């Protein structure tokens, strides 16, 4: 029997609903249960694929090619359960499906309304593609009180009534602000937020109260009284120094015990959280440290590179070192003398991106790493810029560029027009819609024998997740390889370059895919582990 847990948020945004869902999923797994995590987003975009990362944060891509909310990255990193297209839905996608049905005549002439048609579509999503999971955790995006989230709240209210309280649990995440002048935590915002949720017919059975300090028993008792719940179900969500402490902290507060008690399930033996404690210990007390310069386009909002930052931390965990990240906007490197900002870093990483702004800066960063023998990791766009730099400065193709930036006589990087996915041929052109027209999801790559990446992966064939429209032009392979750049990973048909490296460099690798999307704290991605190891060696040379 599958049980459903709905997690809502109130008072303010960014309280950590996604981390709460991920941590609870990890705790239930440690108790021996099978979990699935989902995100329901209230915005009208069909998916976040065309949204600016500086507004919404990174786009997380699943194996089956869905562009999803970054919280799904937290879900995967904490539970190891691969997310699917059926684990993230938006208002835009719900309304699109409802309108398509209306146009098709599926409603038999009925007046199409939010209730029941939109709410029914949301409930279909919640219960769809569920097999033998013990728990399905559904996070509702936005903040209670926002007009956008009302259809979702109504849908989960109906859903809870339909399956009964023995199978549905509502958890509300709120804020307990500390007012220094008063010298106390204030419970009124939480009381009002629960009242707002009650106004749409939902009585939360449990509260997660974000706070920067322990909640006194008197305040906990007051919250329980005014919010109509048991005192032990008012859980303190205390600030921690690393997100990987969250499962341990929640368990110490009795979160997982209370969830099981609500459903009438006996708490088995204490969950084994030794893995999380070991990760936290390595984060808090590393044996050394390295500094990685990240030269990106969206550094004004670090959530634009959420998975990337976490993957570098994972590489540090694997090598038992602290990874200090030096975030740098690539546009500062448009002038040649600005490369002094890179002096002293132990490694340089150039991540993905779109558009021409800041590209010359990324090319200069790749050139600095190549010439000064600093470990370089180029991801997606970062690989393409490294190839353009090599074409210009090693292969003598001075006008080498990408068609993404306009017409060029030497298109070392160009727009993909067709590629193979399984047994099907995908076809696109320059006029295609931006949404969903990229090479998305997991694709295989064949690694060249005696290459560095073959040694890192210890496998001749790999599968990694992609998200891009432009591709390195295979027609320039011979010229680039004669100049010293090895094409060490190719698509199975040999047409699409997946990985390049410089064999005479300590560590210089560019990948067309996004390895950060598959890295986990308890299973760091091999490329990040190797990159940080190379950075450690570099730090010893300085």
Residue numbers annotated as active site: 380, 514, 516
- Residue whose pair of structure tokens reads 């090599």 in the numeric block: 390
Which residues neighbour 387 within 8 Å (Cβ) at sequence distance 6 or greater?
412, 413, 472, 480, 485, 497, 500, 510
Across 212-320, the runs of DSSP E, i.e. the strands, are 234-238, 288-296
For residue 474, give both structure tokens. 């295979």
In this structure, are strands 461-468 and 486-490 parallel, antiparallel, or unpaired? unpaired
Q: Measure the CA–CA gap between 356 and 359, rounded to whole angstroms.
A: 6
Residues 86, 129 contacting (CB under 8 angstroms): yes
Contact 54/99 with Cβ under 8 angstroms?
no
> What is the bridge-based pairing of β-strands 3-9 and 168-175?
parallel
CB-based burial of residue 1 (10 Å sphere; 0-12 exposed, 13-18 middle, 19+ buried)?
exposed
With a CB cutoff of 8 Å and minimum separation 6, the contacts of 363 are 385, 388, 389, 392
**Cβ-contact 374, 536 below 8 angstroms:** no
Rounded to a whole number of angstroms, the CA Rg of the chain reads 25
Give 458-488 as a DSSP string: TSSEEEEEEEESEEE-GGGHHHHHHTT-EEE
Q: Which of 152, 44, 470, 528 is nearest to 307 (CA)?
A: 528
Place of tokens 């709460």: 20
Order of all β-strands in the sheet with 88-90:
88-90, 35-41, 135-140, 3-9, 168-175, 206-211, 234-238
End-to-end CA gap in the chain: 59
Answer for the pair 507, 453: CB distance below 8 angstroms, yes or no: no
**Cβ–Cβ < 8 Å for 309, 302:** yes
Distances (CA, A) of 519 to 64, 289, 296, 460, 465: 17, 20, 20, 20, 11
Print burial letters for 310-330: b (CB count within 10 Å at least 16), e (below 16). Answer: bbbbbbbbbbebbbebebbeb
β-pairing, 168-175 vs 206-211, is: parallel
DSSP state of 379: E
User: Which residues is 30 bridged to in the sheet?
Assistant: none
Q: Are 368 and 348 in contact (CB under 8 A)?
A: yes
């Amino acid at each position: 029997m599958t049980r459903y847990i709905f997690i809502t948020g109130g008072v303010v945004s960014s309280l950590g609903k996604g981390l709460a869902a991920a941590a609870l999923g990890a705790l239930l797994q440690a108790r021996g249960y099978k979990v699935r995590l989902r995100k329901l987003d209230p915005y009208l975009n069909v998916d976040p694929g065309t949204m600016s990362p500086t507004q919404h944060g990174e786009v997380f891509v699943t194996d089956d090619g869905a562009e999803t909310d970054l919280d799904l990255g937290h879900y995967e990193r904490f539970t190891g359960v691969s997310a699917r297209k059926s684990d993230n839905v938006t208002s835009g996608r719900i309304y699109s499906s409802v309108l398509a049905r209306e146009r098709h005549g599926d409603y038999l002439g009925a007046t199409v309304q939010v209730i029941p048609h939109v709410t029914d579509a949301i409930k279909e999503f919640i219960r769809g593609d569920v097999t033998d999971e013990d728990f399905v955790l559904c996070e509702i995006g936005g903040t209670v009180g926002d007009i956008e989230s009302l259809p979702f709240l109504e849908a989960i209210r109906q859903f809870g009534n339909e399956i009964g309280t023995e199978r549905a649990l509502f958890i509300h995440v709120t804020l307990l602000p500390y007012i220094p002048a008063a010298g106390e935590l204030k419970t009124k915002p939480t009381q009002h937020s629960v009242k707002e949720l009650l106004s749409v017919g939902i009585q939360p059975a449990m509260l997660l109260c974000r706070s920067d300090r322990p909640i006194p028993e008197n305040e906990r008792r007051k919250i329980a009284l005014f919010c109509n719940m048991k005192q032990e179900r008012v859980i303190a969500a205390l600030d921690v120094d690393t997100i990987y402490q969250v499962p341990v902290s929640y368990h110490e507060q009795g979160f997982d015990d209370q969830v099981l008690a609500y459903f009438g399930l006996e708490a088995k033996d204490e969950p084994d959280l030794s893995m999380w404690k070991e990760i936290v210990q390595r984060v808090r007390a590393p044996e050394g440290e390295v500094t990685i310069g990240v030269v990106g386009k969206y550094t004004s909002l670090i959530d634009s590179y959420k998975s990337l930052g976490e993957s570098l931390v994972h590489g540090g965990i694997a090598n038992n070192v602290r990874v200090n990240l030096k975030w740098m906007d690539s546009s500062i490197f448009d002038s040649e003398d600005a490369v002094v900002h890179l002096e002293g870093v132990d490694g340089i990483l150039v991540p993905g991106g779109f558009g021409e702004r800041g590209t010359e800066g990324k090319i200069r960063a790749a050139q600095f790493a190549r010439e000064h023998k600093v470990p370089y990791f180029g991801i997606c766009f970062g690989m393409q810029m490294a190839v353009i730099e090599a074409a210009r400065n090693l292969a003598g193709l001075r006008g080498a560029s990408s068609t993404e930036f306009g017409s060029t006589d030497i298109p070392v990087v160009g727009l993909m027009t067709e590629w193979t996915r399984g047994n099907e041929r995908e076809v696109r052109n320059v006029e295609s819609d931006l949404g969903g027209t990229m090479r998305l999801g997991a694709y295989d790559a064949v690694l060249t024998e005696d290459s560095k990446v073959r040694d890192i992966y210890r496998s001749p064939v790999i599968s990694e997740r992609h998200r891009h429209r432009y591709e390195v032009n295979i027609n320039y392979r011979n010229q680039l390889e004669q100049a010293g750049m090895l094409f060490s990973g190719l698509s199975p048909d040999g047409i699409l370059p997946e990985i390049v490296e410089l064999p005479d460099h300590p560590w210089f690798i560019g990948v067309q895919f996004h390895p950060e999307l598959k890295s986990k704290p308890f299973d760091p991605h091999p490329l990040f582990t190797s990159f940080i190891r190379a950075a450690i060696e570099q730090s010893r040379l300085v």
